[in-house]
Chain A
Amino acid sequence: MNGIHDLGGMHGFGPVKAEANEPVFHATWEGRVFALANLCLGLGFGNIDRFRHAIERLPPATYLTVGYYGRWLAALETLLAEDGVVGPAEIDAREQGKPLPGPAIAAPAPPENVSGAAKRALDAAPRFRSGQLVRARNINPRGHTRLPRYVRGKRGVVARVHPAWVFPDTNAHARGENPQYAYAVRFEAAELWGPEAEAGTAMHVDLFESYLEPASGNE
């Protein structure tokens, strides 16, 4: 989806501000949320692609203001509600110290044979080779995608052929794993940013095979 999370190339966010001696977590709840999300995903509730998409579905203003672990908390709530594990009314009641609405919802048993690993072995050879000229497709899916807007329609060169992975665009929507190769594609800055590009800079973006089409040098 063309959401606020797809930040590459945007203007207006000001300088990068680093915090000296930053703690891993700034508050106890951040660490708890980090652990809960990892444990729930590890149990097989949701998957990493659904989790990322739940973050992307936050209203843009919320995304920018609740902080990183605030986004994690909201996404975890979304996945647990969608999977019937914990409902928002239960959390509301518990937060306000009230009795739970009706009998406690029994959580479903976690799915079996869960592995967080997303790498898959494919028999087919990669469609593209290192050094090949490619173009990122100009597609605008409403659902989850890992094709950033700033490279859509742009030409680049395959710099590295990665292994095959579960395809996030379908795995986030229970439409199967559809594993496919990923490629580090090198885009020259001028191709992406035109005359305002910085000299001597290039971007490498990891793109799944179905995001790419062959391109020729004289288009």
Chain B
Amino acid sequence: MSEHEHGPSDRRALRAEALESLLLEKGLVQPETIDAVVRHYEQDVGPMNGAKVVARAWTDPAYKRRLLENGTAAIAELGFGGPQGEHIVVVENTPAVHNVVVCTLCSCYPWPVLGLPPSWYKSPAFRSRVVREPRAVLAEMGLALGPDVAIRVWDSSSEVRYLVLPQRPAGTEGLREAELAAWVNRDSMIGVSQPTPPQDAPRE
């Protein structure tokens, strides 16, 4: 059961509505601005942004170097940036090393490239366990890594945000950048999944 299913949602809805109406009356916020923020995060920002970054890195070695050296600047080259993306570090998966990202203290997440975090990322189960037993958690989530693969967990406890650069899957050699982006699912950029063929990957 995910967290949001607990507790009296209706009460929170009424409370939020009351607070919003008071802030409107006091002239501090405008309804159109609130609508615009919601729309932005529902439609304009999401893992499709990060997927473009990853696909570019898979096809352009010079871009990949820049991305690993200065993630924020390389991501800005594709037009992405903003709140919770002030300083983005990109960590690269290899056959020997697998990276996974968490925020144990709250739910810090690179909004400009991944959008807002899914419920599991915010859940006490993931936040408590992935630093203690990452191998078991990843296997449970469907990513069984061999004992020869080292796992590095990145706890986003400062203002730095992390993005995982997954390995380019075998069999994608002939694909163009735009086609490759469709392989890059959200979870692979957090580090709990691998890229998947487009038909297996509902776009989050």
Contact = CB atoms under 8 A, between A and B. Distances in A.
Interface of A: 5-22, 24-36, 38-40, 43, 52, 55, 64-70, 73, 76-77, 80, 85-86, 90-91, 94-95, 104, 106-107, 110, 116-119, 146-148, 150, 160, 162-163, 165, 182, 184, 186, 192-193, 198-208
A90 B128 contact: no
B106 interface: yes
A208 B158 contact: yes
A30 B3 CA distance: 13
Interface of B: 1-4, 6-7, 9, 12-23, 25-29, 33-34, 37-38, 41-42, 46, 83, 86-87, 89, 104-107, 115-116, 118-120, 122-137, 140-141, 147-160, 187, 202, 204
5 contacts: A6-B104, A31-B41, A70-B12, A202-B151, A204-B152
Contacts of A16: 120, 123, 125-126, 129-130, 137, 140-141
Contacts of B140: 15-16
Contacts of A208: 158
Contacts of A160: 89
Given A24-B116, A110-B28, A19 B14 contact: no
Contact of A40 (B2, B23, B137): B23
A72 to B, nearest CB: 10
B4 A69 contact: yes
A18 B118 contact: yes
A165 B157 CA distance: 12
B37 A35 contact: yes
B26 A104 contact: yes
B104 A150 contact: yes
A148 B29 contact: no
Given A73-B15, A192-B132, 4 more contacts: A18-B141, A39-B37, A94-B19, A206-B160
